[in-house]
Amino acid sequence: MNLDISKKTGLSLGFGGMLILMAALFNLLNGSALLYISLCMILAGIVVYSFGEYTGELSGIKNNEVWFKSVSSKGVVAWILGFVLTAFYVVIYWFPTYLGLNRKGVNTGLVAFFDPLSFALNGHGASQWFVYGTLYTVAILGFGVKFILKYRHSNYQIIRTLSVMFFQLAFAFLLPEFLAKLNPDLDYFAKDLKNMWPLNYYFFEDWHLKAMLGGGNLGMFMLFFGIGMIFLISPILTYFFGKRWYCSWVCGCGGLAETAGDSFRQLSDKSVKAWKIERWLIHSVLLFVFITTVAVIYSFLINEKAALDPKLFLVGVILFLGVFSWYIFKIGYKKLALDARKGIYWASGIISAFLVINMAIGNTNVFFIDSYTLRSWYGFFIGAAFSGVVGVGFYPILGSRVWCRFGCPMAAILGFQQKLLSRFRITTNGSQCISCGNCSTYCEMGIDVRAYAQKGEDIVRSSCVGCGVCSAVCPRGVLKLENGRVEI
Amino acid sequence: MSKKIVIIGNGVAGITTAIELRKISDCEITVVSEESEYFFSRTALMYVFMGHMKFEHTQPFENSFWAKNNITLKKGRVNTVFPEKNEIAFENGGILSYDYLVLATGSKPNKYNWPGQDLDGVSGLYHKQDLEYLEKYSSKIKKAVVVGGGLIGLELAEMLNSRGIEVTFLVRENSFWSMVLSENEGRMLEKHILSHGIQLKLKTELKEIKGKGSVESVISSDGESIECQFVGLTVGVSPNVGFLQNSSLKINKGILVNEFLQTNIPNIYAIGDCAEIQQPQPGRRPIEAVWYTGKIMGQTLAKTLAGQKTAYIPGNWFNSAKFFDIEYQTYGLAPAKLNEYQGEYYWEKENKAVRIVFNKENRVFEGINTFGIRMRQDFFEKVLNRKESVDFVMKNLDKANFDPEFFRKYENEIKSNFNLQNA
């Protein structure tokens, strides 16, 4: 088959599918058949295009013309795409009525267009989030195939990509919908097993805790599994494999970045300045979500008169911060820079002081701000604006991992574990580095990999998500992702 | 007063000297370059042309790094060195004095007085300016001829090929890179080169370049006329020492240096491609124009300049390259043509190959070429330093593997094949 033809066919299919969605948005089209046809067209379009793009050539690194193409080098196409994506996110988060969402009556437009699929999967009508989740999944599946074809010489990339595709389709998309269908009477609570706190920042909010507690066996399972993920499963897996087990193998945000975002990975800023901003910003978000969560749990315990004494909870938090700071001071100090350690001590100290004062005067707003206010700020600034609008909307300008790098509190926690406790590192093959810069250029997290490689040093960075692309693009075979030292 | 060190050349050798010296000394350091303002990775120029990177990505340090580390960068072409006055003179008339001078001027591409070699559309691939020329000229190129069957030639062929240019690749020898690779290794790579659509012509030399003003065709040694708009001359490099010819420095092909990288003038040193070692270590060549030796020389010289006189000991030979999609690494010495006392073992499968050379008498491992399978330098460093046998290497081959996780492993196949050959 002529490859140009298959690329053109792919583009026509993809844009054709999107045209149907546009028509549905303006209530011009309707019907389940059209919905399925449009989704299949988009999916098939991406796949057919990718076959045209990659299968005509021998397998190998496919980065020719990356910096010449407008879409992947911040050209006009990139800015247009960034604008469209950003607008889409703004509408989804704050103006869903434009998509046809009608909270009081019957949905219209795009949301109504997705009703047939929503009913089939979960027994309810669609919401803007269902539309979003479906398109998100289609994107990961379609561009996942593209990524696999692009890196078909690398089993690591193939298996990793199949993993993110599977977790998105099964765990993030299908399973929660099925579970909702099987338990139609329960209040909403998150059923995505892999979406743990603090990425899922509402996990400990009162309405969510209540929904889980009132959610029968499934609710209790989700509650215990969620807590087990945070404190047990995740640290153990991170110890053995690094944070990559989550960030580039399982996570949905990571999944989109690795597949649909792959064309933009080279846009991440590698400057020292960007690194400085990153360190402050991501840990500030972590601090923010920590404070919010403590406040939210505290008010929940007070309001619900739960079995756990609210003061005991605060003592527990202080103890946790104390143990963590002590660990950094005594054991982990070699692995963290001075400013990072100071940040930890100060943050722990100030939070603890607040909690102690609060206990002494018997205040119900643990940080002197209403917990509802705190969490609505977090939801607006971090949950919506940062992770959604900036995180994905700015893909074509700032690169695909802006959220993961600068904002995700989950990544910050896993980063601590990776830096302090994990066996994972990227090793450098002796003195073989030629300082070419491919590794740094294609690091989506903006790590200057070359700076370590050219000195023959291992790379142990809390931000590394272990995507393995630095190792793939290295023309001299210098970099290898390893779970511990290999004895030779 | 602190010592004034002037380094001519901001390639890997000169820059490594500057950076390593700064770590251990507070002397004045000035690096002079005609080619570029800042240090860049020469080996990465091809990726700029292919669109993998922008030029700034080839610069391993941020522009602010140099001032922060108090390393002065000076752009300009040095015309003359006056050893008796401890001064260098620039083309534009400036003068710079030094206490110690480091010559790290690199190479220049060879040209063998072919008719037409100075036409428009004829270029080597070495300097940043060569890349800029090629970029500017590339829109005029539909067909190109690359002359010279080595690494740079193949890289240039790959670059041109990436822009959809039809490339004819003239290789003088009977097999690809036969100076370094055995015939079966060369054959495997030739197949790969052909599969990328390159017209490979072995045992063919350039006779003449024809054109009025700019290139229109070349005549090969077979008498064939090949139409083209660009000719890449990549028939090796020579030390870039022309501007020193009238000085009192002793020069053969390169600037002659002793084991401390010192020239015949005590406060002048030479390192990298432009240096010629008078008494090289056994098995090593006097001039080794590769990235790694330049870097090691820079590291060595920095110590000497800081007062810890250190001899240049290059260690075990290693090198690497990439031929289109096939990565190549070599550790120790695995010569193209075996010596009398040497034996070899060769395994090949689907663009992957391993060739191991050993001493037939005592079975000591001497060197390995590996294609398409990444192997650990640390492992072979140990093997070579301890003079382990080829049988030890075979037994522990899986420990040498440096391929990414989940890659297919070939060690068992290689081992059983080896045992069969040695039964």
- Among candidate residues B315, B378, B356, the one with its CA nearest the CA of residue A478: B378
Angle between helices A155-166 and A252-259 (to 10 degrees): 130
Closest in A153, A441, A477 to B53, CB measured: A441
Share of chain A above pLDDT 70, in %: 99
Q: How confident is the model at residue B32 (pLDDT cuts 50, 70, 90)?
A: very high
Q: How far is CA A442 from the centre of its chain?
A: 19
Architecture of domain B318-421: 2-Layer Sandwich (3.30)
**Cα separation, B311 vs B297, whole angstroms:** 9
In this model, does residue A92 exceed pLDDT 70? yes
Last residue of a domain, one of A132, A164, A179: A179
pLDDT of residue A30: 86
Token duo for residue B388: 């382990």
Residue in chain B nearest A154 by alpha carbon: B407
pLDDT of residue B286: 97
Select the CATH number that applies to the domain covering B122-235 from these four: 3.50.50.60, 3.10.20.310, 3.30.390.10, 3.40.120.10: 3.50.50.60
pLDDT digits (tens, 9 = 90+) for B254-308: 999 999 999 999 999 999 999 999 999 988 999 999 999 999 999 999 999 999 9
pLDDT digits (tens, 9 = 90+) for A424-455: 999 999 999 999 999 999 999 999 999 999 99
What separation, in Å, do the N-terminal and C-terminal C-alpha atoms of chain B show?
A: 70
pLDDT of residue A106: 87
Residue A268 lies in a domain: no
Angle between helices A310-330 and A272-304 (to 10 degrees): 150
Residue A391 lies in a domain: no
The segment(s) of chain B belonging to CATH 3.50.50.60 are 4-108+238-305, 122-235
**Cα separation, A158 vs A202, whole angstroms:** 33
Angle between helices A3-25 and A32-54 (to 10 degrees): 150
| Cβ neighbours for A257, distance < 8 A, ≥ 6 positions apart | A265, A395, A400, A401, A404, A444
**Cα separation, B224 vs B222, whole angstroms:** 5
The segment(s) of chain B belonging to CATH 3.30.390.30 are 318-421
**Cα separation, B244 vs B248, whole angstroms:** 8
pLDDT of residue B423: 64
Q: How confident is the model at residue A264 (pLDDT cuts 50, 70, 90)?
A: very high
> For residues A364-386, b (16+ Cβ closer than 10 Å) or e, as one string?
eebbeeebeebbeebbeebbbbb
Contacts of A60 in chain B (CB under 8 A): 324-325
Residue A15 lies in a domain: yes
Q: Are A153 and B325 inside 8 Å of each other by CB? A: yes
Yes or no: say if B405 and A242 are a contact pair by the CB < 8 Å rule. Answer: no
- Range of the structural domain that residue A118 is part of: 1-57+95-179
Residue A104 lies in a domain: yes
**Cα separation, B415 vs B423, whole angstroms:** 12
Mean pLDDT of all residues in chain B? 96
Q: How confident is the model at residue B419 (pLDDT cuts 50, 70, 90)?
A: confident
- Could you tell me whether strands B318-323 and B268-270 are parallel, antiparallel, or unpaired per DSSP bridges? unpaired
Three-class secondary structure of residue B230 per DSSP: strand
Task: Please name the amino acid found at residue B215.
Answer: V
pLDDT of residue A1: 46
CA distances B176 to A50, B23, B150, B170, B190, Å, are 34, 42, 7, 10, 6
- Three-state secondary structure of A187-247: CCCCCCCCCCCCCCCCCCCHHHHHHHHCCHHHHHHHHHHHHHHHHHHHHHHHHHHCCHHHH
**Cα separation, A282 vs A286, whole angstroms:** 6
| Cβ neighbours for B177, distance < 8 A, ≥ 6 positions apart | B149, B150, B151, B154, B186, B189
Last residue of a domain, one of A128, A144, A179: A179
Contacts of B407 in chain A (CB under 8 A): 154-156
Contacts of A432 in chain B (CB under 8 A): 292, 318, 320, 329, 377
Q: How confident is the model at residue B409 (pLDDT cuts 50, 70, 90)?
A: very high
**Cα separation, A464 vs B212, whole angstroms:** 55
Residue A404 lies in a domain: no
Closest in B60, B329, B406 to A435, CB measured: B60
Last residue of a domain, one of A144, A179, A214: A179
Three-class secondary structure of residue B110 per DSSP: coil
- Neighbour order of strands in the sheet with B4-8: B71-75, B28-33, B4-8, B100-103, B268-270
Write the CATH number for A463: 3.30.70.20
**Cα separation, B297 vs B272, whole angstroms:** 7
The distance between the two most distant Cα atoms of chain A, rounded to a whole number of Å, is: 77
pLDDT digits (tens, 9 = 90+) for B114-140: 999 999 999 999 999 999 999 999 999
Q: Are A435 and B43 inside 8 Å of each other by CB? A: yes
Q: How far is CA B196 from the centre of its chain?
A: 23
Q: Are A476 and B50 inside 8 Å of each other by CB? A: no
CATH topology of domain B4-108+238-305: FAD/NAD(P)-binding domain (3.50.50)
Residue A225 lies in a domain: no
**Cα separation, A202 vs A379, whole angstroms:** 9
Provide DSSP, A143-202: HHHHHHHHTTT-HHHHHHHHHHHHIIIIIIIIHHHHHHHH-TTSPP----TT--TTTSTT
Residue A145 lies in a domain: yes
| Cβ neighbours for B162, distance < 8 A, ≥ 6 positions apart | A64, A65, B49, B50, B51
pLDDT of residue A359: 87
pTM for the predicted model, two decimal places: 0.96
* Domains held by chain A: number: 2
Contacts of B329 in chain A (CB under 8 A): 432, 476-477
Beta pairing partners, B343: B358
pLDDT of residue B164: 95
Neighbours of B175 (CB within 10 A): 20
Residue A137 lies in a domain: yes
